[in-house]
Chain A
Amino acid sequence: MDALPDTSGGTPRGGRIARNLVHFARTLRTAGLRVGPGQVLRAIEAVETVGLRSREDFYWTLHAVFVNRRDQREIFDQAFYVYWRNPRLLERMMEMLLPSVGVPGEPESRKPLNRRLQEALQPGRGEAPADADEPPEVEIEATFTVSDRELLQKKDFEQMSQAEIDQALRAIQRLRLPIPERRTRRFRASPRGARIDFRATLRRARNPAGILELRRREPRRRPPPLVILCDISGSMSRYTRMFLRFMHAITNDRDRVQCFTFGTRLHNITRALRRRDVDEALAKASTQVADWSGGTRIGQTLHEFNNKWSRRVLGQGAVALLITDGLDREGAAGLAEEMDRLHKSCRRLVWLNPLLRFGGYEPKSQGNKAMLPHVDEFRPVHNLESLGELVAALSAAGGKDLRLARWQTGLRKE
């Protein structure tokens, strides 16, 4: 890295800036951005191209290389201002950490630093080699406040036994959602396909085998994307663990699954659930979600989903699976409108209502009344004890749901 070619005119001597970029990249990586050595090389190349004439250009140059997603900008922004205030990282960290040495007139640093970034900037992880022998200050830890950390109510999940895992996998394999697989515009070879595959046919014509032999193809089918919205409020807490297992199993079983939990707030836990190990995944998810077993604000969380996520996850004919008892703390304020919007944004909306301890369900609560007219498929389930039953309830033959139709007409009249 030190042997960078010397470039002329306005660009820096390779060595110093390269070293600093490496450390800046490490800071970003520790703060959670996915930054690899390839990007560091690219950053060096980019900085040499643009030169170091203006700070703004430098900022956008590094931004173009290191930032990959819109939501990474905030962390990058803070890291940039903290790191490049002065190229010597550790010294500058001291300025930042010891209040008496605080630099006046630095408007950038007024906002509390992102916690991940604070952790990344702690010495021992990303200090500049020139200062490596300097012992880390003990006060640093104390200086950081946890103002931006929320009080998380952590959920303690029991570890899953191997038998349970096997059972979950078997159950998921039986799962047939009440939505048929979608025909895609891609084709696969099939001896009885309706269309002739010219490419394969003529490729065979190259072989000296004799007459031209027709190859056929048919449209490929695949399950549509699935978006699961799962209620984790207090009234549902009995089933929370099972639903999480269900979501984990289905996330790892097929692609294009997005999982959200909601209570008082909405959380996307898809990334956490992608870990293959179920205990690890659930533990990760439990630290991410802040509102276990709390109240429910279905209308508000659905609003957030509709505005922030629906266009990003409900594309390509997605099916939404809503798991909730429909008991809303806010008295179903705005719920009907948001359900309507959700219904219009997805191909099919399936509502699984698990909290019915007796057979004769009637839509009585305000929440239920607001939601029922906007679903395509309604699965009330009583006595839900295992994943197997959950899967069976979802897989049951759809057909025409006369009860749902009756309720929907009844509710529309009201």
Chain B
Amino acid sequence: MSTPKPTSIDATLDLLKRGDYVADRSLATVLFLALKLGRPLFCEGEAGVGKTEIAKVLAATLGRPLIRLQCYEGLDASSAVYEWNYARQMIEIRLAEAQGVQDRNQIGSEIFTERFLIRRPLLEALQPQAGGAPVLLIDELDRTDEPFEAYLLEVLSDFQVTIPELGTVKAAEPPIVIVTSNRTREIHDALKRRCFYHWVDYPDLAREIEILKVKAPGVPERLSRQVVGFVQELRKLDLFKAPGVAESIDWATALGELDALDLDPRTVNDTLGVLLKYQDDIQRLQGSEAAEILRKVKSEVAGQPAG
């Protein structure tokens, strides 16, 4: 049921395309390397450029289970790797006592077995799965603190986890690991060195139009060209948070729902909140500046041949 890994860069591009992910060649190259050489892929980039999507698409197209570890501050081994089932362990001890088992050593070794182990995402990803090695997504790694990052070193370089009571668990087939970061802090070099690094950039005009075609198919061609043109202009401005691809898709979809055929200043003003997430940015743009950009974009789109 699982598809074999791609054997060339072109095959990787095709694979992503089948999953409705419009990638450029640079991404396909690193992804191919990561898959082929079995090393994690470390994706950094602004919010909303499709970093997480890579893992999802990969899991879907390769037909493998996706295991996701969402990082947060204070994430520790008991919620990321494994935890013992304490309630069951205690019941087990009570039962043993009730049965008159005297040897505490025996009880001790019995309650630290696989039966009482709760697997969290990292350990789960090292277990053999039905559809082959899973895709492990470690999302927004920058949200955790440094100790957890250091812990990941063992997992990402040797694909193994050490449980003191049980020993070392090693993956028979290493999972496909995608690590993402929004760069709210710098990740340590030691971790990056174990991965292939890729900076996911905003797409260029042509690729973003193509992305909209795939992701918001109901939106008329001319409108989506205007949307992309407008968003691309916004990214050139000195905004606190420039809109990502996710925002363009949302905006195009929203405009499509509103049955707009053409961008006009009023619609732009009303829906600017879909694109910009900071009040300062919205205030700055609302009114004349947005209208100015719109005029420019419209004349450009009108000048282009359709198709």
Interface residues in chain A, defined as those with a beta carbon under 8 Å from any beta carbon in chain B: 34, 36, 38-39, 45-46, 49-50, 56-57, 60-61, 63-65, 67-70, 73, 184-186, 198-199, 202-203, 205-209, 212, 255, 306-307, 311-313, 315-316, 337, 341
Are the C-beta atoms of B193 and A311 separated by less than 8 Å?
no
Shortest beta-carbon contacts, A-B, top 8? A185-B74, A206-B108, A60-B29, A198-B86, A208-B104, A315-B184, A64-B30, A64-B196
Q: Write the B74-88 contact mask toward A (1 if CB under 8 angstroms, else 0).
A: 111010000110100
Q: Please, which residues of chain A bring their CB within 8 A of the CB of B90?
A: 202, 212
Are the C-beta atoms of B192 and A68 separated by less than 8 Å?
yes
In the complex, which of the residues A60, A73, A306, A312 contacts B30, with contact meaning CB atoms closer than 8 Å?
A60
Chain B: interface secondary structure? helix
Closest beta carbon of chain A to B145's beta carbon, Å: 7
How far does the alpha carbon of A209 sit from the alpha carbon of B189 in the complex, in Å? 45
Closest beta carbon of chain B to A274's beta carbon, Å: 13
Are the C-beta atoms of A208 and B189 separated by less than 8 Å?
no
In the complex, which of the residues B29, B30, B73, B198 contacts A184, with contact meaning CB atoms closer than 8 Å?
B73
Q: Please, which residues of chain B bring their CB within 8 A of the CB of A36?
A: 193
Closest beta carbon of chain B to A393's beta carbon, Å: 29
Are the C-beta atoms of B185 and A313 separated by less than 8 Å?
yes
- Chain A CB within 8 A of B111 CB: yes
Q: Please, which residues of chain A bring their CB within 8 A of the CB of B238?
A: 307
Q: A49-B36, A185-B73, A186-B76 are in contact. Are A202 and B186 (CB under 8 A)?
A: no
- Chain A CB within 8 A of B216 CB: no
Are the C-beta atoms of B29 and A70 separated by less than 8 Å?
no
Q: Please, which residues of chain B bring their CB within 8 A of the CB of A73?
A: 199
- Chain A CB within 8 A of B21 CB: no
Q: A198-B86, A307-B238 are in contact. Are A312 and B9 (CB under 8 A)?
A: no
Q: Write the B144-169 contact mask toward A (1 if CB under 8 angstroms, else 0).
A: 01110000000000000000010000
- Chain A CB within 8 A of B32 CB: yes
Are the C-beta atoms of A202 and B197 separated by less than 8 Å?
no
Are the C-beta atoms of B186 and A312 separated by less than 8 Å?
yes
How far does the alpha carbon of A119 sit from the alpha carbon of B189 in the complex, in Å? 24
Q: A199-B78, A307-B240, A337-B280 are in contact. Are A212 and B193 (CB under 8 A)?
A: no
* Extra inter-chain contacts (20) besides given A49-B36, A64-B198, CB under 8 Å: A50-B9, A61-B29, A64-B33, A69-B197, A73-B199, A185-B73, A185-B76, A199-B83, A202-B84, A202-B86, A205-B93, A205-B107, A206-B104, A206-B105, A206-B109, A207-B104, A255-B146, A311-B184, A312-B186, A315-B185
Q: A70-B199, A315-B184, A316-B185 are in contact. Are A61 and B84 (CB under 8 A)?
A: no
